[in-house]
Amino acid sequence: MAEQAAPATAREWHLAARPQGWPVESDFALVEAPVRTPGPGEILVRNAYLSVDPYMRGRMNDVPSYVPPFQLGKPMDGGAVGYVVASEAEGFAPGDAVLHGLGWREYATVDARQAVKVDPAAAPLPAYLGVLGMTGLTAYAGLLAVGGLKEGDKVFVSGAAGAVGSMVGQIAKLKGASLVVGSAGSAEKVAKLVDEYGFDAAFNYKDAPVREQLAQAAPDGIDLYFDNVGGDHLEAAIGALGVHGRAVLCGAIAQYNETTAPAAPRNLALAIGKRLRLEGMLVGDHAALRPQFVAEVAGWLKSGELRHAETVVDGFENTAEAFLDLLRGVNTGKMVVRLDG
């Protein structure tokens, strides 16, 4: 594709204040800043799609974690795909499409060792942020490597219409699960899970207690729970898991904006008698699975056995709002922001 020259300045999103509870607009600032010319080993990238992800909420708090917190008054970062406009790095040329970690800005000057080339002809660019990217690998590694999915397993996944959850449910079916149940936050999402993604059952967790709806959907209990939500979902799953059941603790989005400790799960002691295994996971630990993941998922995409959705928000200036909408559940599938031009 034809590349324009880089402008002298471009916009980036800064964290203006640390949110207390739900983030508000004034926690974010849209700032015009100089575009830095790449030095040796660097590339300048015009971002085309930005990823907004739930883990970014944790980075807005000033607490030690597995990723450092965002700094106040500095640009935020996160997954992005875009086009190289200038290169001082071997192996990268203007026009190359790349995946890298300096999102939340229009132009990024990136250490080329932190960028990987992607093929826009093999898959649309946003796929490298979702189904073939970080969230896809989270689903694949979480379900198979951490959860140890076995043929015949009865599986429950929360956040099931989201980027990670929608892949977990479908991969579970493809790998021979005997029952796949999903929970999501709207009737439309629930219908999509059953009608398009092949889930055996799904329910809206806002309609009635999760415990009751899960018992109805999986009357004989479950073997494996993939947790994206925490709280009452995790409590219901602990109740429904059978002896030697497993739970993959991937996320706890129900508590990311809470200012008090969660009220559930209250039944953790059941894990003793049932000899449950509850295991936390981080996608970063599973980079070695990437080639296998890409090969298998690309095959399913090609054959049409795996479906995926993106919710695309247009306009760089809407990035903060897109992030908030992700936390509010506006998205189905991967939430991405498409930049102009």
Ligand X SMILES: NC(=O)c1ccc[n+]([C@@H]2O[C@H](COP(=O)([O-])OP(=O)(O)OC[C@H]3O[C@@H](n4cnc5c(N)ncnc54)[C@H](OP(=O)(O)O)[C@@H]3O)[C@@H](O)[C@H]2O)c1
Q: Does the footprint of ligand X cover residue 247 (CB under 6 A)?
A: no
What binding mask, one character per residue, do residues 25-44 give for ligand X by CB under 6 A, x or -? --------------------
Alpha-carbon distance 43 to 61, whole Å?
A: 30
CA–CA gap between residue 239 and residue 271 (Å, rounded): 9
Q: How far apart are CA 328 and CA 257, in angstroms?
A: 11
When asked if residue 250 is in the footprint of ligand X (CB under 6 A), the reply is yes
In the complex with ligand X, the residue whose CB is nearer, 146 or 339, is: 146
Contact between 165 and ligand X by CB under 6 A: the answer reads yes
Distances (CA, A) of 190 to 142, 162, 200, 211: 22, 11, 11, 17
**Binding region for ligand X (CB under 6 A) out of 28-36, 95-103, 159-167, 259-267:** 159-167
Retrieve residue 305's tokens: 């056995």
Q: What number of H helices and E strands is found in the chain?
A: 9, 15
By CB under 6 A, which span of 41-49, 81-89, 116-124, 180-188 interacts with ligand X? 180-188
The least distance separating ligand X from the CB of residue 257, rounded to whole angstroms, comes to: 8
C-alpha R_g of the chain: 20
Dihedral sign for Cα 185, 76, 319, 80, please. Answer: negative
Out of 38, 78, 159, 182, the residue judged to bind ligand X by CB under 6 A: 159
Q: Among residues 331, 336, 338, 339, which is the contact residue for ligand X, using CB under 6 A?
A: 331
Give yes or no for residue 326 binding ligand X (CB under 6 A).
Answer: yes
According to CB under 6 A, which one of 47, 135, 170, 319 is a site residue for ligand X?
Answer: 135
Cα torsion angle, 176, 177, 178, 180, sign? negative
Binding of ligand X by 251 (CB under 6 A): yes
User: CA-to-CA distance for 231 and 306, rounded, in angstroms?
Assistant: 29
| C-alpha span between 118 and 132 (Å, rounded) | 11
Q: Which residues of 14-44 are buried (b: 16+ CB within 10 A; e: fewer)?
A: bbeeebeeebeeebbeebeeebeebeeebbb
**Cβ–Cβ under 8 Å, residues 183 and 152:** no
Stretch of 28-36, 77-85, 108-116, 178-186 lying at the interface with ligand X (CB under 6 A):
178-186
Contact 72, 18 (CB under 8 A): yes
C-alpha–C-alpha distance, residues 3 and 224, integer Å: 48
- When the beta carbons of 143 and 253 are compared against ligand X, the nearer one is 253
Binder among 87, 138, 213, 319 for ligand X (CB under 6 A): 138
Based on the shown chain and the rule CB under 6 A, indicate whether residue 267 belongs to the binding site for ligand X: no
Question: Which of 43, 202, 237, 254 touches ligand X by CB under 6 A?
Answer: 254
Residues in 54-93 at the binding interface with ligand X, rule: CB under 6 A: 54-55
Element (H, E) at 234: helix 231-240
Q: Using CB under 6 A, which of 112, 115, 184, 306 touches ligand X?
A: 184
Out of 282, 289, 294, 298, the residue judged to bind ligand X by CB under 6 A: 282
Q: How many residues bind ligand X (CB under 6 A)?
A: 30
d(CA 54, CA 286): 19
Q: Which is nearer to ligand X, 281 or 337 (CB)?
A: 281
If binding is defined by CB under 6 A, does position 12 make contact with ligand X? no
Structure tokens at 295: 């090969």
Site residues for ligand X per CB under 6 A: 53-55, 135, 138, 159, 161-165, 184-186, 189, 205, 228-229, 250-251, 253-254, 281-283, 326-327, 329, 331, 335
